[in-house]
Structure 1
């Protein structure tokens, strides 16, 4: 069983496969486990420790004397050092590093050939330090995530004119700045593009060092800051309240309804130009945090059934599409929703969400538990739901907030405010009632 990616879900998948008596081989492009998580090691997670440890992984670690952290909210670095790295060490030779998967297909069958296809093993092409080689596998679990392909600054989904050149000059970054990087920006001007939680984190942290302009495509800042105290994930709600406070006390200047068309150079800085002709002040750095996209290039020879909007498994997409859901719970799901026309191939983890933004580690652990059961032939266990998730639906979908006249759902986000930033009391998640509030 080949697992692509040694992140949280890939390692958990290996633990579940082993527990089922199946032999996994985890292929990781990075030099060590959880390479993507290490790139945001300074960022604190919303989920507490008990929701960040997979059950099968904990059982695999237990004989080593490892004890699961019981409380607190770790940073990405703490998650790696206290859990993911020990798990990878126990898996030992079953994890292969600097092994980048560059292609997956069926043996002797390209995408066009149907005859005998289901009886052929998967062929996995891998690039490593010693060159390229191939493996055969009965099943492939793609847990490679989406970190490698960040969204661009351009409002139409394409890089803005001049964006690539600005990246080459070090004026555009797609990662939350680390503390040392923020110190180097002291007294300068930083533009943050994006409305999600990564953008809020960057805005809050950078406000202590530099003058910050927060660029939002949405019509109002209140749409971006989330449900505050009403959020089922307290740390996520607190983040929204901190971002709101940073705007209200003047430490952060919001620019709303701004859709980036081009990035021009101005001396040693960059200037964002909107589709409506607006130009922002020259920035020492532009931090673009507009989400991520799945890399489907290396699975292009497989027959996949993906939603045309999200690039997520078609059965799962209606549950997570931000154009449909302004809020609400994403129900636990498993092998049935993740199954593809290629029997034995599954997308799991963040990659299974395609471009949707609201993935939780717990969701991924339930996915891989179900998938491992399915691959072991335990269809009853695969169909069973062993998880109750906190309410953490898509809050503030692009389909709502790109329309300045649209009303916002009030079940897990702020109600629509027409004058000033206001996080209204939660109206009850069960009703999903839409309201329009005029506040002054």
Structure 2
């Protein structure tokens, strides 16, 4: 079979994976989307209660919208802000339905390799197709009970599997703290749905530790402050690894995503209301069970008052295990493609402004393999859907051999209103003040010649 007749395998039927599929259909290229879950946007549906700070107009991929048009699909109001549930039900599911049999649910990709060659073999890597090892398990998200395994031969692989299934642990050194696993019944790694009566009862009247400084942490602070106003005794210890709050609340009115700026302001108001105690410079080194809950111990020896529940929202990391037989060039710090890492490294800048990028930055030494979406950010935070949509537009153009379109990336991303300084920890004393952001302007970059299959 001519390699051009082979499908492009897309891993993940989330927002970016489905956008990649729509772009491939737009170019009349065969595509198969493999989704481990039972429906489109499986990961998005797990944070269904959280409202996005991107508008509908920034959450619908242009190629997917074009694909939906003949069905009579009506786009939601462009200026409205959906919840995760609404994004999945009103957009992702319809896109998957239009794609039809191109999307396979209950199909977990467990490996990718070059046909007949393991990682060590050089010969044939540019001429042989890729093999995608798929385990089908009837829609069971975790693949329990085994399943049927098959090999799918593919022209290229677009990994849009995300990072949702790899939350970072509570432990401050990147590994689960001693006692963390044993306390799993009292620790969650996502923002709880406090609208659910059962979940609400778990936290009402409790002292809760919230670890993290990103948008998920701010969302949790706001939700818990509202709970505390209704249920006396509810209190939050907000654990920050940095020495001071600094710009953790974001850019406020200067944020070009208004809802994101408003979230920071509401979180700051929640702290000021007295329902939240801020604990700075705290990196969890141990979790100890006590009679009335958990005691967290810091790496500096501090031992916090016991809490009943812990919410650890400290970011995510990619699962690279099933890519072990293809050649990757990833930044050793972020586990993101080496060409992209300098643009998103929170050690360098916290402004959230990422310059346009595409196939040139995302391609790997293994011909035809691309990491996109949240997976492409590795351990870095602050990914926007519109970034992923532009990524796959460029990547699909590269796969199709349209080098001009692959190189031509034009995108203006909204500023956060926060500039100057490292995003993970405070600047060392005496460091010069400075900014990492300029005024937002349209940028057209030449990204280099994309690799060929």
TM-score, normalised to structure 1's length? 0.90
- How big is each residue's C-alpha offset from its partner over 1:292-343, in whole Å with a ceiling of 9 and x where there is no partner? 0011000011101111111111111111111111326211111111111111
Residues 202/399 of structure 1: CA separation in 2 closer, same or farther (3 Å cut)? closer
- The answer for the alignment partner of 1:123 in structure 2 is 131
Q: What SS does the corresponding residue of 2:121 show, helix, strand or coil? A: coil
1:363-382 counterparts in 2 under 5 A?
363-382=387-406
Cα deviation code 1:377-424 (max 9, x no counterpart): 111111112422222498663454275765665677xxxxxxxxxxxx
Structure 1 residues 406 and 184: CA distance shift in structure 2, 3 A = farther
Q: 2:51 aligns with which of 44, 55, 64?
A: 44
- Which runs of 5 or more structure 2 residues have no equivalent in the other structure? 1-7, 138-146, 228-233, 441-453
Identify which of 218, 241, 244 aligns with 2:242. Answer: 218
Q: Are 2:47 and 1:34 aligned?
A: no
Q: How many corresponding residue pairs?
A: 413
Are the equivalent residues in 2 in contact too, given 1:29–1:98 (CA < 8 A)? yes
Report the CA distance shift for 1:394/1:160 in structure 2 as closer, same or farther (over 3 A): farther
1:184 correspondence with 2:202:
yes
Distance 2:367 2:102 in 1: 23
State which of 85, 94, 103 in structure 2 corresponds to 1:77: 85
Match of 1:231 in 2: 255
SS of match in other structure, 1:118:
coil
SS of the residue 1:150 aligns to: coil
Pair 1:173-2:191 in alignment: no
Moved more, 380-389 or 153-162: 380-389
Structure 1 residue 234: Cα displacement: 1.0
Whether the aligned pair in 2 keeps the contact of 1:325 and 1:394 (CA below 8 Å) is no
Partner residue in 2 for 1:21: 28
Aligned in 2, Cα 1:131/1:404: closer, same or farther, shift over 3 Å?
A: farther
| d(CA) in 2 for partners of 1:166, 1:187 | 20
Cα offsets for 1:183-234 (capped at 9, x unmatched): 4311111110000000110111012222111000111123311111111111
Pick from 146, 158, 171 the counterpart of residue 141 of structure 1: 158
Alignment deviations for residues 100-159 of structure 1 (CA, whole Å, 9 cap, x no partner): 111111111000000112111111111112422211101000000000100111111111
Q: Is the 8 A contact 2:222 2:270 kept in 1?
A: yes
Contact 2:134 2:149 in 1 (8 A): yes
CA contact (8 A) 2:255 2:417 kept: no
Q: CA shift at 1:375, angstroms?
A: 0.8
Which of 177, 181, 194 is 1:160 aligned to? 177
CA contact (8 A) 1:152 1:159 kept: yes
**What TM-score do the two structures reach when normalised by structure 2?**
0.88
Distance 1:304 1:392, change over 3 A: farther
